[in-house]
Chain A
Amino acid sequence: MRGTKSLSNNNNALYVIDGIPMPSLSSEQPEGVFAGAGQTGDGLAAINPDDIESISVLSGPSAAALYGSTAANGVVIITTKKGSKDRLSVNYSNTTEFSRAYIMPSFQNTYGQTEYGSYQSWGEKLPAASGYSPRDFFQTGINETNSISLSSGNDRNQIYVSLGATNASGIIRNNDVDKYNFNVRNTTNFLKDKLTLDVSASYSNIKEQNMIAQGQYMNPVLPVYLFPAGGDFEAVKIYERYNAERGVKTQYWPYGNDFAMQNPYWITENQKYNNNKNRIMATAQLSYRPLKWLTVSVRGKFDLDSEEHERKFDAGTSQLFASKYGYYSKANNKTIQKFGEVIATADKYFGADNEVSLTATVGANVEDISYSSDYVGGNLAAVNNLFTFGNIDNGHSATELKQEGYHKQKQAVFANVQIGYRSMVYLDVTARNDWSSTFAYSDYRSVFYPTVGLSGIVTEFIPGLKSDIFPYWKIRASYSEVGNDPEPYLTYPTYSVVGGILTTKTRMDNTDLQPERTKSWEVGTNIHFFRSKLQIDATWYKSSTFNQFFEPALSATSNWTSVILNGGQVDNTGIELAVRYGDDFGVKDFHWDTYMTYSHNKNTVVKMLDSWYVDKTGETISLKRMDVGGFGGVKNILYEGGSMTDVYVTTLATDEKGYLQQTSTGNVIADYSDEGLIYAGDTAPKHLLSWGNNFSYKGFSLGFLFTARIGGVAISKTQAVMDYYGISQATADARDRGYVMINGMKSPNVKEYYQVLGANDGVMSQYVYDATNIRLGELSLGYDFPVQKWCSWLKGLNVSFVGHNLLMIYKKAPFDPEMTASTGTYNQGIDYFMQPSLRSLGFSVKIKL
């Protein structure tokens, strides 16, 4: 939200559920060419979506005053359902969605294999177009969610119980997710409603199989996309054959292993990535209202997330990944969050006619998070496909036994005061002090940060302004600061011990760390017109994050490759605009709601490292460039004045006059050198737009949402490799035409040309696309059956049809540029054999008893 702020740390928003922050669970992000298999979904999946009452978003860092520094990137506030005071009600819903592969690159099927057995499609023109289509590999994905909830209660006690089940299979065989949620919540009022006890507990179990993001290894998309036209894909479907010598079925793959490629069916059937995640959350809140204007509450949460991640590769897997008996690894990851909070809130009016309002909150909390991961992995030693620790070859140097983890605790006191005058002007002041365990051993123990905001209702204090046409105008301005703590353990250097060997680290120790700071300003306005039928909400913001914890590279000659220090400054400036109009036009039972949102953000790396005093050597160093991500011909490089999402790419060698350099045979030459890198653009969007509409008429409802992203670049390494293999439509077109253009001249060496573009790191300047796209993102059509007319115990029945990602109206890139393989800060907008984006259609039935 509102741009990436931190150069090296997490830039994701914080989820707050019923006032309590969700811990961010550790997960690996695919970085680099090879990685991407064996991912896991995010921690929010532990919440049953049907338990959510409402979601609201606090974009700015002002949220941090309430939820701490992890809220600096914005907060998603989720309120879950409680039992109602009404008598028993039961809700059942079923949503079933079917999805198909949608956006895929264009393949050729008219030129055959270079030669028999080759994986390249640079051969003769086929007598008839090949029947193989990569799209056929993908199946129809099904996502079915069943949820039942029960709510009951009276004035004293309310209870809510829900059960949810999601069973999904993806478009690639054996990519499955099965999720079960159970939740119970009870709210009790005592002492004439002065005391409220709210207790809830939830359990979820999620099993995931073969979650693949992208990448070269263990990714069936790669061999499927590159499969040569004219090759026998039917033979490949019989992916394993009995090997009498080894007494086991082994992989059938007659194509060699460029790219460590394997049979795609072998990958989906015999290389299993299984995650089994159990999560228990228990919360309790006791609120006491001794006086009308005073509430004191105490709440606590215990959250245990326990995850097993297994990888099982059968005998017959490529020897790069397994021994001839197979490969097995297992990680047990456990995250425990304990949270406790005390808050007192006063709500009082003063003055002769209560013209002054005061809302004051003081509170303190403790959040304790511990994470541990135990991992054992290695090639199997003796028995085929026996996936046990005992069968792992513990003499092999690739065998790993790892334990990782951290323990951190944060304590905070905070206070918030809001003073209002005649409901016209409000002053909001917040102060927070965080003590963090990760500052132990440093010169800092805690960090203090304030916010201040002022808002005024213009229509209230300019007499005569308020009218039916112009009922409401509010202006607001705020300033806020957030202080952030470092990662655990940085302040207390230790030695790693791996494989029974004590080794030094290549990252320099630096215990002299200060808090990272974000300062932000925000002004905004809310204007209503026409009896508030038209509402406009506009915000301008600017934030500066400085003294960042970031990890610049050091010259290895320093004895180190990097160091974590305070430095750098990143600014984000942007605007957010929302316009909403709702009207019934005087038609009975009719309503139309339309809304448009727009946002624009500009991210600037203002400073890298001006000067850093190195304690160990007494020197001062500076840094003007930092390579932070990217792979194979695409690099994220940070420079002062640039943005955090700038990418640079390899290009074709040119001479001093700007002409392409050519070889003796007239072919182009790739320039992979650093000096040759050219600026490709910024992968972040310039403008984001959405336009939604909801119509309702007599129980019918129709909704649709268009989304548009304007600007930014997307880069496809997939296309580069497909060109190299001669399987892209572009290569067939050029062959049909008989030439490619080089320096304005026709060159008949089509294959040589494309193989320069696609080989090695690729000439990635040829594969940079405008990421602009416009699509119909959602469409739904529903009907509320008037069941109560027919049946007294049935309170509601709704049937709707829903579609997602139904139509791409405008797009330039050969993949869906809104797909991302990484939720990290860098490596965005680069496609390397990601799964195709999905188009889905489905229905839902909701029954209320």
Chain B
Amino acid sequence: MKINNIIKLMAVTSSVAFLAGCVKNFDEYNINGNEATPEQAAPVLSGSLFQQIQRTVILYRDGTGTLDSDYQVSYNLCADTWAGYTAPTLGDGRNNGSFYINDSWSRSLWVNKYSKSMNAYSMLSALMEAAPNPAIVAMADIMKVTSMHQVTDYYGPVPYSKVGTSVTPDYDSQEDIYRQMLAELDDAIEVLKGYSAANPSARIFEDYDLVYSGDPVMWVKFANTLRLRLAMRVVYADPQLAREEAEKSLSDSFGLIESNSENAVISGVVHPIYEINVNFNDADTQIGASMDCYLNGYNDPRKFLIAKAARDGNLHGVRNGIHNTNWTPYKNTAGNVSAPNAAAYSLEWINAAECYFLRAEAALRGWNAGGTARDFYEAGVKASFDEWGAAGADAYLGNSSSVPAAFVDAVGNASASAPSSITVAYNDSDDFETNLERIMTQKWIAVFPNGCEAWAEYRRTRYPRLITPANNDSNGVVDTDLQIRRVPYPISEQAENAKGLATGLSMLGGPDHAGTKLWWDKK
């Protein structure tokens, strides 16, 4: 090689290496090719965001990163436990079940809802501002209310109206949130009714809507039912608002959810309780003691559809708050207690039975419900039997003697006397409270395993009467008989949104602990 050639080679190489300044490819390098660019996402973005809100109404393992353990800590170890549906069989028993609130569990609903449901909602709202579509906004608002009323029902005053406008949003009072949610439903229902009239048999987001395949008529029925649920929730705090809003739904021309085929449900999903019971340490959860008392006492035909029989062929629940260090006798393999029959559970937001029981309560309260409390009550029980595939609803409804059983601890010594003496058969001559308890008790069985709703309604009405935990580890903060009234705010808010938290604490009406009653908790 001649020296000239070598110099030439070096000159060429060095000029190739001397690329500094020639950085035009950098724009291309710094785009993640494994993800969707804004341009690629644009045609499917609004539908995907809509679906993301749906997928986070009740958290489940949807393949995008939400896990069964998110359901476990957000619901199963919180509302499901406090509703008496299931009992945790883990740790030393000093946990949410014994009123010792575990922040890493109780913050989960908060974090998931705001960073997933509301994140998608805020982005969808921004898209809708750029290209308005009132029908989509209406459906998104209904979804948002479905998802977020759980959050205020857990914690009380929470950020709602300011979410998306601030990274440290102020909280809204629960009253304001309920008024806003009801107003949003009012608007959404009107918009969708108008849309449906103008576009008969048209579908919105048919490919994305996991619940109603974009059928606006079904969305109106669902929204009416949801409005009835929320209206009834505030009945002890603002009876006038409750009645007004309820009667709008009860008299709406599109009607309410009336059959199980109309239930709001995401189908084809394995309910997270299945994983939590079967695969998490051979049962991190089992059927609760309160379920045991009612299903056994009534010899309820739904008994072994809701719970699996223990090895002795009976249903045995587990009481909350047992101090224990060895859970082996409570595990599935031991067979001493009943596992949830979770393979049969569906990921349901609202069902026909719940709607009938709400109507029964409206009638009981003397509102214009379009029927009698008894008829609605019986329709609710029948709808529930139909949904579970249980036979014998008529005989069950005629039973005026069976009462809830005492709780017998199949493993330890945490037995308890019967929580109530309420019977099944409706009796018009019973007083208001008795019939209310009857309605609420049957609703509680019928909405299983929707712990969120059951726990909220328990707090609103004090029904059904639930077995108290074996131990109360709240240091006197939570009254054993009144049980948990709310979930304390996540500790992280102190560091991350101190300003907003201060507004929440000022509206809470009590200290930030689990014994403080929420605004609608006025009975």
Contact = CB atoms under 8 A, between A and B. Distances in A.
Contacts of B37: 492, 494
A672 B114 CA distance: 25
Nearest to B171: A557
A495 B6 contact: no
A617 B333 contact: no
Contact of B17 (A298, A433, A435): A298
A502 B328 contact: no
A260 to B, nearest CB: 6
Contact of B14 (A298, A320, A616, A724): A298
B115 A364 contact: no
A139 interface: no
A154 interface: no
Interface in B324-368: 325-328, 331, 333
B94 A435 contact: no
A445 B331 contact: no
Interface in A601-619: 614, 616-617, 619
Contacts of A120: 325-326
Given A118-B326, A493-B38, A760-B92, A560 B115 contact: yes
A702 interface: no
Interface in B11-36: 13-14, 16-23, 25-27, 29-36
Contacts of B111: 556, 561
B49 to A, nearest CB: 7
A610 to B, nearest CB: 15
A376 B123 CA distance: 31
A342 B14 contact: yes
A508 B496 CA distance: 14
A491 B28 CA distance: 12
A320 B35 contact: no
B160 to A, nearest CB: 9
A56 interface: no
Interface string A259-280: 1100000000000000000000
Contact of A340 (B16, B103, B282, B497): B16
Given A195-B6, A286-B10, A504-B52, A617 B63 contact: no
Nearest to B63: A499
A498 B63 contact: yes
A522 interface: no
Interface stretch (B161-169, B191-199, B479-487): B161-169
B278 A319 contact: yes
Given A342-B13, A614-B167, A623 B496 contact: yes
Contacts, number: 250
Contacts of A423: none
A627 B279 CA distance: 30
B279 to A, nearest CB: 5
B29 A408 contact: yes
Contacts of A234: none
Contacts of A554: 167, 496
A354 interface: no
A673 B103 contact: yes
B48 A364 contact: no
Interface stretch (A124-132, A204-212, A399-407): A399-407
Interface string B226-256: 0000000000000000000000000000000
Interface stretch (A305-313, A345-353, A409-417): A409-417
Contact of A558 (B33, B61, B168, B326): B168
Given A257-B281, A342-B13, A558-B168, A409 B94 contact: no
A757 to B, nearest CB: 10
A502 B278 contact: no
A366 B51 contact: no
A257 B123 CA distance: 43
A674 B3 CA distance: 73
A624 interface: yes
A256 B331 contact: yes
Interface string A328-347: 00000000000011100000
Given A191-B3, A558-B169, A559-B122, A759 B91 contact: yes
B102 interface: yes
B23 A560 contact: no
A438 B51 CA distance: 32
Q: Chain B CB within 10 Å — which of A491, A495, A558, A623 has the most?
A: A558
B64 A498 contact: yes
A632 to B, nearest CB: 10
Contacts of A405: 33-34
Interface in A753-802: 755-756, 759-760
A439 interface: yes
A258 B92 contact: no
A789 B102 CA distance: 77
29 contacts: A120-B326, A256-B333, A257-B282, A259-B281, A298-B14, A320-B280, A340-B17, A364-B18, A364-B20, A398-B61, A407-B29, A409-B29, A413-B18, A440-B26, A440-B29, A445-B23, A494-B31, A494-B37, A504-B52, A506-B115, A553-B496, A555-B500, A557-B118, A557-B500, A559-B115, A559-B122, A614-B167, A759-B325, A760-B91
Interface of A: 114, 117-120, 190-191, 195, 256-260, 286, 288, 296, 298, 318-320, 340-342, 364-366, 397-398, 403-409, 411-413, 433, 435-441, 445, 488-489, 491-504, 506, 508, 553-561, 614, 616-617, 619, 621, 623-627, 670, 672-674, 724, 751, 755-756, 759-760
Given A495-B45, A498-B64, 12 more contacts: A260-B281, A342-B14, A366-B17, A397-B62, A435-B20, A435-B26, A494-B31, A555-B493, A559-B115, A559-B119, A673-B491, A751-B325
